[in-house]
Amino acid sequence: MKQSHLFTKTRKDAPKDEVAKNAQLLIRAGYVHKEMAGVYSFLPLGLKVIENIKTIVREEMNKIGGQELSLPALQDKNLWEKTGRWDDKVVDNWFKTKIANGTETGLGLSHEEPLTNLVAGYVSSYKDLPFSAYQFQTKFRNEMRAKSGLMRGREFLMKDMYSFSATEEQHLEAFKKAREAYVTVFKRVGLGEITYVTQASGGVFSNELSEEFQTISDAGEDVIYVKDDMTAANDEVLADERVVGMGFSKNLSEKKSIEVGNIFHLGTKYSDALGLKFKTDTAEEKSVIMGCYGIGIGRLMGTIVEALSDENGIIWPESVAPFKAHLLCLAPDDENVKMLADDIYRELEGNVLYDDREHARGGEKFADADLMGMPYQIIVGKKSHQDAIEVKHRKTGKVETKSMSEIIEWLQSK
Ligand code: ATP
Ligand code: MG
């Protein structure tokens, strides 16, 4: 893509009221636009990152048998009354509104209710179980503080998966598979070395512990105690004897962290309330055992920026970068330089962002490339020729000289 065609531009400053580093950098680099506190638009480059993250998550959910669907944002009050979660005293972050006929609806903050209700229409026997279904969907939560940029939105994209099992054994198998898939997802998006499988409280519905995926970052709102084997415990559960029994205590290294995902045991709370039952092989009627598994897609994008950027800007891992490389034409008014850069671009169109701008100076192009964070910069200047073009690694700053054909072959294979 040619940068001269991109309607968005980089900016020197982020809005004054934006205090989170992730949003400041993403706004300055032209990935997102701040509509209001906790509400962001995704611009063309930002949407590419979101789609890359979604593709990774989707591949891993499909690998463990997840079936993708899409549930509505508008919620049926009756269903949420059945589980007791319509009440603002129980769930305090609803966005509710009136329907024109005088009844009420709410904007979905999670989707246990509609999915459990829907599934009840299809499940009747143990033979229909187990299975898992998931979606990518915009959630709405009236969060009190929305000062963490993409990490705490009032409107945000989540991947939520739910498992439905006949037996505890099936449920634990689904839970284990989800855990493994999550570990793979966080590795693939470049956070593997700083993301811990963390013991956490099970919430209100289950005695069992839940697990959170916590990425180390000073911008995090959570505090965890970590071990070398990439496991940790949230400080909220350190009093639980099971957690102590696993060897967690305040003697371990304490870190601030961001919860990028979590996996929960739901037991039969929702299936009991909404009549999701099945018959066993001895014709006994039982409630379906459920689990739920969330990943904040926007929060994950913000976390990557928080955790991996440097003083010059964003550093995207290759797996989520909008383009593998940023092609910089440093002297567009020099015919030879322009021709060489154009030639490279023609071969790599979909893989590179081409800074072909005529009126931007070299220094500005370098600064923008560092801010925008493509993993590699292909630098075409007056000294370049077909057999010698500089390639700079954004993360390490290392510069290599490669021939045009080497560059093309290397990037086309990515
Ligand atoms: P938190 O404790 O941070 O409020 P949560 O326990 O409310 O998170 P869940 O309801 O389990 O989170 O949602 C699943 C995932 O969605 C979380 O692990 C997180 O990655 C993401 N998430 C939750 N709230 C937000 C938000 N306001 N903005 C962006 N992502 C969010
Ligand atoms: Mg919350």
- In angstroms, the Cα distances linking 269 to 206, 277, 289, 396 are 9, 12, 9, 50
Ligand 1 atom with the smallest distance to the CA of 261 is: 18
Kindly give the distance from the C-alpha atom of residue 160 to the centroid of ligand 1, in angstroms, as a whole number. Answer: 11
Kindly give the distance from the C-alpha atom of residue 179 to the centroid of ligand 1, in angstroms, as a whole number. Answer: 17
- With the most atoms of ligand 1 within 8 angstroms of its CB, the residue from 185, 259, 306 to mutate is 259
Question: Which of 261, 330, 273 is closest to 61 using CA atoms?
Answer: 261
- In angstroms, the Cα distances linking 402 to 354, 386, 388, 396 are 18, 9, 5, 17
Q: Which residue has the CA at smallest separation from atom 2 of ligand 1?
A: 259
| Residues in contact with ligand 1 (CB, 6 Å cut-off) | 110, 141, 143, 152-153, 156, 158, 259-262, 294-296, 298-299
Task: Say what the pLDDT of residue 414 is.
Answer: 84
Q: Which residue has the CA at smallest separation from atom 22 of ligand 1?
A: 296
- What are 81's strand-pairing partners? none
Pairwise CA distance, residues 73 & 39, whole Å: 16
| Ligand nearest to the CA of residue 293, numbered in listed order | 1
Kindly give the distance from the C-alpha atom of residue 296 to the centroid of ligand 1, in angstroms, as a whole number. Answer: 6
Q: Which residue has the CA at smallest separation from atom 21 of ligand 1?
A: 296
Task: Say what the pLDDT of residue 157 is.
Answer: 98
3 state DSSP class of 39: strand
Kindly give the distance from the C-alpha atom of residue 399 to the centroid of ligand 1, in angstroms, as a whole number. Answer: 40
Ligand 1 atom with the smallest distance to the CA of 154 is: 27
Tokens standing for residue 84: 């007791």
3 state DSSP class of 23: helix
Pairwise CA distance, residues 270 & 82, whole Å: 9
| Ligand nearest to the CA of residue 110, numbered in listed order | 1
Task: Say what the pLDDT of residue 206 is.
Answer: 67
Pairwise CA distance, residues 171 & 130, whole Å: 8
Q: Which residue has the CA at smallest separation from atom 28 of ligand 1?
A: 152
Looking up tokens 């509609």 gives 114
DSSP for 251-270? TSEEEEEEEEEEEEEEETHH
Task: Say what the pLDDT of residue 301 is.
Answer: 98
Question: Per this entry, what is the length of the chain?
Answer: 414
Maximum distance among all alpha carbons in the chain?
82
Q: Which residues of 356-367 are buried (b: 16+ CB within 10 A; e: fewer)?
A: bbeebeeeebbb
Task: Say what the pLDDT of residue 203 is.
Answer: 66
| Ligand nearest to the CA of residue 141, numbered in listed order | 1
Ligand 1 atom with the smallest distance to the CA of 141 is: 27
| Ligand nearest to the CA of residue 295, numbered in listed order | 1
Pairwise CA distance, residues 367 & 298, whole Å: 25
Ligand 1 atom with the smallest distance to the CA of 212 is: 18
Question: Which of 293, 258, 340 is closest to 160 using CA atoms?
Answer: 293
Phi-psi region of 111 (alpha: psi -120 to 50; beta: other; left: phi over 0): alpha
Kindly give the distance from the C-alpha atom of residue 91 to the centroid of ligand 1, in angstroms, as a whole number. Answer: 14
Mean pLDDT by 10 residues, the chain (414 residues): 96 93 98 97 98 98 98 98 97 97 97 98 98 98 95 98 98 98 98 98 77 97 96 94 94 98 96 98 97 98 98 98 98 96 96 96 97 98 96 98 97 90
